[in-house]
Structure 1
Amino acid sequence: MGRGGKSRKKKREISVDPDLWERFEKKVAAEGRTASAVLEELIRNYLLADLFAGLAEEKAPLMVRPVKPVGPADAGEEVWRMRNLPSI
């Protein structure tokens, strides 16, 4: 909420296919949500997609440093152990 207890949200007018809007309203109502809340979530996700796409394009330096094993280093034995684990 803004100053004086007033909401900072603004009403907007959009044009949407009537059949699409009806299906949207039914789904939103079935979920116990409001159309405004779902639309805000969709807009945020839409904008975040650009942010994440930009991060994925950045080339961070990859630094790999060798480490000393803390115990026996038998990769074959570990692979065999992992293969015999119950699947999820």
Structure 2
Amino acid sequence: MIVHRIRTDRGSHIEPALDPAWPDATKLQWHAAVTALDTGLPIHVHVAARSEYGLTVGNTGAAPFTYREAWEYLNGASAGATAARHADRHRNQPKGK
């Protein structure tokens, strides 16, 4: 799935927006696309079974997940990427500042 972040003078939003009527697999693909857009990480959702999913984030694969577990894993990938960027910024600052 391809998503775009639309920036406005009041903030931003994702298009297409998440549709609660989509099947769970499509919602996970949307969440993965948003996470990839925000982090720059390559992310893929694999439908392992009717209610099981696998995820590949960068070179790391993990499975099996329920829908909720997969959603939370993507949240963790996003949080980890944000923390890594923050640490890199501080690592590159001169000492004492």
TM-score (norm 2): 0.36
Instruction: Name which structure has the greater RCO, CA cutoff 8 Å, separation 6+.
Output: 2
The structure that is helix-richer by fraction is 1
Q: Larger % of strand: which?
A: 2
